[in-house]
Chain A
Amino acid sequence: MVSKVAVLADAGPEVEHAAAPVISVQNIVHRYETRTALNGVSFDVRPAELFGLLGPNGSGKTTLFRILSTLMIPTAGRAVVMGCDAAQDPASLRRQIGVVFQAQSVDAKLTAYENLWHQGHLYGLRGSALKKRVGEILARVGLADRAKERVETFSGGMQRRIELAKGLLHHPGVLLLDEPTTGLDPGARRDLWQYLQMLRDEEHVSVLVTTHLMEEAERCDRLAIMNEGNLVALGTPTELKSEIGGDVIMLDAAHDASLLADHIRARFHVETTVMGNQVRIEREGGHRFVPDVVEAFPGEIQAISVSKPALEDVFIHRTGHKFWSEESETVSAVDKKDKKKKRR
């Protein structure tokens, strides 16, 4: 799989080509007792890049995140961040990175100020320099007026912002975030992404963020798409989408999808993918193809749609199945329930 990944040209002229990678993931393999979570993954993250790690639940992105943040040693392979090996030199690596976890790591019984004061001590900051920095970062995330209130009184979005402030307090060159928008409403989600982009542009922080949301992945400079422990695609969102020829056509079969797919293949000489009762075709000039295919198989097609390729199509193109399997669908349903609970 890895060898299939084409190294495509850079997105824009801003990115410095020769710069050494900030994060280098080299053929990492990780096995838990019974299953393989990472199956030889390699990629580089460049300086001042907003890099996304996109994959469904269970694709291995959280495992990779744990390895990069030194919480776990990989079974094989190397992870290097700013020149420090995660397995051999965790102490130096930890100084270089800021980490924002999916779980809440702030202490709800402490105030916003106290949480950051505590965090600063862990990074060797102290005294008036620390005081100044805490004030600065609180203003930066827009919580200066709530500094003296306990975090337990904060909304979900505000708690996330404190998490982010914690990760950025010591001026890390690299920021790692694990699904940072979990449980946030769309407004707070947008704010967080704008902030990440600002960090990249103004402070040249390299950001690695894991996500399972396509619309978030679209906002990244480059993406690594993961599936079942393998890297299935690597490149800018635009590049990845452009490798799909033209349009994506989805047909809902009236009877047997695989039979319909066979017929379409024989008749039009196109590649087809069968997903449930749907047949998926990638083809240029989709609008011209639609009347032809409908006329050719009267009564066989229940519905038809044509769309420009999205990142989800890249995933289907590379893996042959949908982004969300049955299992992960239920997980996302639980997510939604959680969100409702929080809002109440």
Chain B
Amino acid sequence: MATQATTLPRPMAPASAGVMLPAFTLWWREIVRFYRQPTRVVGVLASPLVFWLVIGSGFGTSFRSGGGPGQQHYLDYFYPGALIMIVLFTSIFTMMSVIEDRKEGFLLSVLVAPVPRTAIVLGKVLGGTTLSAVQGMIFLLFAPFAGVHLDPVQVLLVALVVFLVSFSLTALGFAIAWPMDSSQAFHGIVNLFLIPLWLVSGALFPLTGASKWLQVVMRVNPLTYGVAALRGLMYPGADSSFPLPSSMATLVLFSMAMFGLAWLMANRRTTRPAA
């Protein structure tokens, strides 16, 4: 019988899990969850191609007479923009899982674990980044059909740009999703702010042809630098308003700012219910 209430010696867990192990395990979960849902995998592989072909072909024949984007065929002009769009959609929408996790209760069990919030942000954001960057790189396989032929160094640079854009947008998605309790509201924000952001990033039409106020908007839009960097790498001949190093630097800054924002959101502790 229990005649004393002293606790038995139990194997103690290490004092703290640190940041990397929890971040790794959260990243791993994002990846496993992704490939266990076959429809998501199909969507990731097929949607880029469909978007590019449908939008590109449609625009190409409709606006040929304008001759806007230089001498390029529109399908070629649109290629970098399509890649950014794919990355944008995947990055933002993978972070809808934050809302689902919160609703289902999974997030609660992470929040009561002795895990620094930095690890939660890092794990979730890198999970989303991986998925969207991989999707972006798969789309790169179609590059030869857009008249793009890259050497290994260029491929690496493109991969870096794709990673930075994925990371910053996923972090942004995390920051938006964290305080939300419904995915409908999340969709609302995405439609209101993020799709317009892509529309004025130089993905669909070049900066030079736009009106004055729109040019200002395009210049402060971080996505513009992603599109410009990709276009510069893919079509070295085409005139670019932004040199590659400055675009890269802008993307790095944007990534850090978005991660900081996500971190701040996740570190709020309040007197309001967490779920």
Contact = CB atoms under 8 A, between A and B. Distances in A.
Contacts of A230: none
A32 B270 CA distance: 11
Chain B contact patch, size range: 35 or more
Nearest to B11: A171
B29 A107 contact: yes
B104 A47 contact: no
Interface of A, secondary structure class, is: loop
A123 B36 CA distance: 25
A201 interface: yes
A291 interface: no
Contacts of B36: 109, 150
A245 B5 CA distance: 33
Interface in B92-139: 104-106, 108-116
Contact of B33 (A16, A69, A102, A109): A109
Nearest to A152: B36
Contacts, number: 136
B15 A105 contact: no
A256 interface: no
A222 interface: no
B68 interface: no
A95 B270 CA distance: 20
Contacts of A72: 270-274
A66 interface: yes
Contacts of B270: 72-73
Contacts of A235: none
B212 interface: no
B112 A48 contact: no
B5 A107 contact: no
B4 A66 contact: no
B32 A110 contact: yes
Interface stretch (B18-26, B51-59, B185-193, B241-249): B18-26
A99 B109 contact: yes
Given A122-B113, A123-B113, A47 B17 contact: no
Nearest to B107: A105
A10 B152 CA distance: 76
A74 B271 contact: yes
Given A16-B4, A72-B274, A103-B104, A94 B113 contact: yes
Interface residues of A, number: 54
Contact of B1 (A14, A71, A91, A171): A14
Given A66-B273, A124-B18, A95 B10 contact: no
Contacts of A75: 271
Interface stretch (A113-121, A308-316, A331-339): A113-121
B32 A109 contact: yes
Contact of B8 (A32, A95, A119, A204): A204
Nearest to B115: A122
Most buried by B among A32, A46, A121: A121
Interface in A125-140: 125-126, 129, 133
B109 A90 contact: no
Contact of A105 (B108, B116, B272): B108
A204 B25 contact: no
A308 B17 CA distance: 52
A15 B5 CA distance: 7
Given A94-B114, A101-B108, A119-B109, A126 B21 contact: yes
Contacts of A46: 5
A19 B179 CA distance: 41
Contacts of A170: 13
B275 interface: yes
Interface in B1-53: 1-8, 10-18, 21-22, 24-25, 28-29, 32-33, 36-37
B16 A124 contact: yes
Given A107-B106, A124-B21, A171-B13, 15 more contacts: A14-B5, A19-B5, A30-B271, A48-B5, A71-B111, A71-B273, A92-B114, A99-B108, A99-B112, A101-B108, A105-B109, A117-B25, A122-B109, A122-B110, A166-B109
9 contacts: A14-B5, A71-B274, A72-B270, A119-B109, A122-B113, A125-B13, A171-B13, A203-B10, A204-B8
A-B CB proximity, top 7 nearest: A103-B105, A124-B17, A121-B25, A105-B109, A122-B113, A71-B274, A105-B105
Interface of A: 14-16, 19, 30, 32, 46-48, 66, 69-75, 90-92, 94-95, 97, 99, 101-107, 109-110, 114, 117-119, 121-126, 129, 133, 150, 166, 170-171, 173, 200-201, 203-204
